[in-house]
Amino acid sequence: MEKQTDVDTLTQRPSWLALKEHHALFREKNLQSLFQEDPKRGERLTTSAAGLFLDYSKNRITEETLRLLTVLAREQELPEQIDRMFRGEKINTTEHRAVLHIALRAAREEVIVVDGENVVPGVYAVLDKMSSFVRKVHDGSWKGHTGKPVRNVINIGIGGSDLGPVMAFEALRHYSRREMTFRFISNIDGTDFTEATRDLDPAETLFIVCSKTFTTLETMTNASTARAWLKASLGSDAAIARHFVAVSTNQEEVQRFGINPENMFGFWDWVGGRYSMDSSIGLSTMLAIGPERFLEMLSGFRKMDHHFRSAPLEQNLPVILGLLSFWENSFFGCGTRGIFPYDQYLKRFPAYLQQLTMESNGKHVTKSGTRVNYDTGPIFWGEPGTNGQHSFYQLIHQGTRIIPSDLIGFLHSLNPTGPHHTILVANLFAQSEALAFGRTAEQLRQEGVPESQIPHRVCEGNRPTNVILADRLTPETLGTLIALYEHSVFTQGTLWGIDSFDQWGVELGKILAKRIISELEAPKDPDLSHDSSTNALIRRFRNARKQD
């Protein structure tokens, strides 16, 4: 049984108050003075694990900050909570579920028991089934209805059943089968479906319908449209069996849709959507990069899992990342975090992290249901560098808000092209330096900048960054990087005392539109009983349709 810690008194605890008092120190100290007083901090305040290197020296902290943060983390039973997650305890208390994305990448011989059953053999049964399917598609023995091999794969899903697959495909495109086309349909906007299919031959197209529940409106609507598109071209219901596979936990609904359960890849209620890209939800990833590389990706996750479970808090990479974000969010009031991968292949990584972090820690009550009196999950956002440098970085350098940022880069490029990679990495390093130390009025004067321009050109610095480096972007590195953030999210949620694994706000969104759909579709003007704004919007849409 999980012990309920007394999270509701968090801000009155001596450990919180000690952090508050310690925070006052940073009114006088900025990153410039911290580096002057301790010139070696840039070498010391770093850590590495599982092939990732983190330089966190350009944060507004000292070693004492980290010590105080780990005291609070221990009081919040972070080590015990980590253990509970890995042991399969039902730490998602509001849904009464275990939280076992770590089982998706466990070694074959590991034993993880949920409700008296070792779940690892089931994980490998699905992985083996995926591999065997992928091999058949790749060697052409899986044929479409007309006997043609599959050339196009379209993933239909949304939220956790889309963002992970899209991000992973883009991130690992370098390793993907270039002779195949991969597309992703998520939006209920018919444009998404139309644009994804317009130039494809249905006879060569495989749809993966990804939905944990198999009831999500957007996904089921897109899947039905796909079925109609296919049937219109291939002329037979029998074609469905060769062109549709499903990834779901809901066999009944999969069958009702017309997909043979033999072509269904299962997963489990102990995997949250946003933590599922390494389950069968990653079937499109495996089709793109092949089973061996998919297993390499899982081994990357596993390495970070092992580190998270076994390293002391003070040297634990996801814990440090989580503590820093907690510190900046709850004590400095930094409500957002920028994610800037200096790698074009990671262009969808910020969007993926946005869901992972904001759906997990966007909570206003503690596990015991009391409203928190501190800020929880920061807003995550970002774009790849160097593109962002030519737009919104202005606000990060000189705006009135402090935006802590993670700059992610690789020592080697997958596409060495003349000087490109050196320039790319130089920009990453330069941004981290400039954000920390800025440009003073004195420096500007020495450069001969006219006095009237100096206030406009001063960059105050003191903007925190983490620099995360890896050797190169491989499937394994990607797995490690994702696991790093997964566990950092869990660390923050544990400190805030919230349930990082439920999503009641998203559930609400799933039911809200239903009533309005019927009011928009009603043949006769319905009696509307919303607020005056919503009623008027509904009438406006209906009137526009009448004129069509």
Binding site for ligand G6Q (CB under 6 A): 158-161, 211-213, 216, 219, 272-274, 359, 503, 506
> Measured from the CB of residue 195, what is the shortest distance to ligand G6Q in angstroms?
21
Q: Which is nearer to ligand G6Q, 72 or 100 (CB)?
A: 100
Q: Which is nearer to ligand G6Q, 159 or 290 (CB)?
A: 159
> Measured from the CB of residue 172, what is the shortest distance to ligand G6Q in angstroms?
21
User: CA torsion 410→414→415→418, rounded to 10°?
Assistant: 40
Per-residue burial over 14-52, b if 16 or more Cβ lie within 10 Å, else e, is ebbeebeebbeebeeebbeebbeeeeebeeebebebbbb
C-alpha angle 379-354-345 in degrees, rounded to nearest 5: 130
> Measured from the CB of residue 308, what is the shortest distance to ligand G6Q in angstroms?
20
Residue 97 has what DSSP assignment? B
What amino acid positions are annotated as catalytic residues?
A: 359, 390, 510
Name 518's Cβ contacts closer than 8 Å, sequence gap at least 6: 526
Helix axes 190-197, 217-234, angle to 10 degrees: 40
Per-residue burial over 159-187, b if 16 or more Cβ lie within 10 Å, else e, is bbbbbbbbbbbbbbeebbeeebebbbbbe
> Measured from the CB of residue 187, what is the shortest distance to ligand G6Q in angstroms?
13
Q: Which is nearer to ligand G6Q, 358 or 520 (CB)?
A: 358
C-alpha angle 218-138-169 in degrees, rounded to nearest 5: 45
Residue pair 266/249 in contact (Cβ under 8 Å)? The answer is yes
Q: Which is nearer to ligand G6Q, 273 or 378 (CB)?
A: 273
> Measured from the CB of residue 496, what is the shortest distance to ligand G6Q in angstroms?
18
Q: Which is nearer to ligand G6Q, 159 or 341 (CB)?
A: 159
Q: Which is nearer to ligand G6Q, 466 or 503 (CB)?
A: 503
Residue 544, classified by CB atoms within 10 Å of its CB into exposed (0-12), middle (13-18) or buried (19+), is exposed
Q: Which is nearer to ligand G6Q, 274 or 337 (CB)?
A: 274
Q: Which residue is nearest to ligand G6Q (CB)?
A: 159
> Measured from the CB of residue 356, what is the shortest distance to ligand G6Q in angstroms?
9
Per-residue burial over 124-133, b if 16 or more Cβ lie within 10 Å, else e, is eebbebbbeb
**265: which 2 tokens?**
């890849």
> Measured from the CB of residue 510, what is the shortest distance to ligand G6Q in angstroms?
7
3-state secondary structure of 493: helix
